[in-house]
Amino acid sequence: MEIFTSWPSWAHAEGPLGQALPTPTVDALREAVAFARRQHGVQQRPTGRPYVEHLLEALEVAVAGARLDDRDLLIAIVLHDVVEDTPCTEAEVGKRFGPRVAALVRWVSKPPGGRKADYLASLAKAPPQAVLVKLADRTSNVQELQRMPWRFQRRYYLETVAHIMPLAAAHPWFAQWFGEWRARWRRVERWPD
């Protein structure tokens, strides 16, 4: 199972992105990363790491792992949490990055006050490109699950198996990655609640 943590900053990501993608796409991603960094500000991951590292991990998953190259899809991966986790609005994303990016971000943003299980179940009706955004996001989130407390590990593992792995089935690279991930983490199924 490949782990995607070699792009902790834009400086680390830019070279590999330049080798994999056209220059206009890399330029657009640079702008999206700067925008996301401003929006997320000092926000941190549960592990205490800067939030932008998660966004770059998800981008690395998409480009270096799944070999995705669609400009709007990759921008949406970088921006996937700005509407859910910051004051940024979908309209702001649309104005800055276009309606397609804004629509993808909307699909993967949990509605305020909504139940997470309902949100995850709704992804079964999402367009394939929005599903790819979610798959890149979740791959980043679960690849180093051991850093989290064991109760979180169990809950997140079961949630991933129930809601995310069925979405991955239609995308061969993600299906294989999550299959390997599940084999590595299957012991969590035996843990007590």
pLDDT category, 189, cuts 50, 70, 90? confident
pLDDT category, 193, cuts 50, 70, 90? low
Q: What is the pLDDT of residues 29-82, one digit of tens each?
A: 999 999 999 999 998 887 788 899 999 999 999 999 999 999 999 999 999 999
Tell me what pLDDT residue 148 has.
83
pLDDT category, 144, cuts 50, 70, 90? confident
For the chain, how long is the longest CA-to-CA vector?
50
Please give the share of the chain, as a percent, with pLDDT higher than 90.
79
pLDDT category, 190, cuts 50, 70, 90? confident
CA distance 77 to 56: 9
Domain spans, the chain: 10-190
Mean pLDDT of the region 135-153:
89
Runs of H (alpha helix) within the chain: 10-20, 23-40, 51-60, 71-79, 82-85, 90-97, 99-107, 116-122, 128-142, 150-159, 165-168, 172-185
* Nearest by Cα to 142 from 117, 176, 178, 89: 178
pTM equals 0.94
CATH number of 10-190: 1.10.3210.10
Distance from CA of residue 55 to its chain's centroid? 7
* Nearest by Cα to 165 from 186, 144, 187: 186
Tell me what pLDDT residue 86 has.
94
Tell me the catalytic residues. 84-85
Number of Cβ within 10 Å of residue 57's Cβ equals: 27
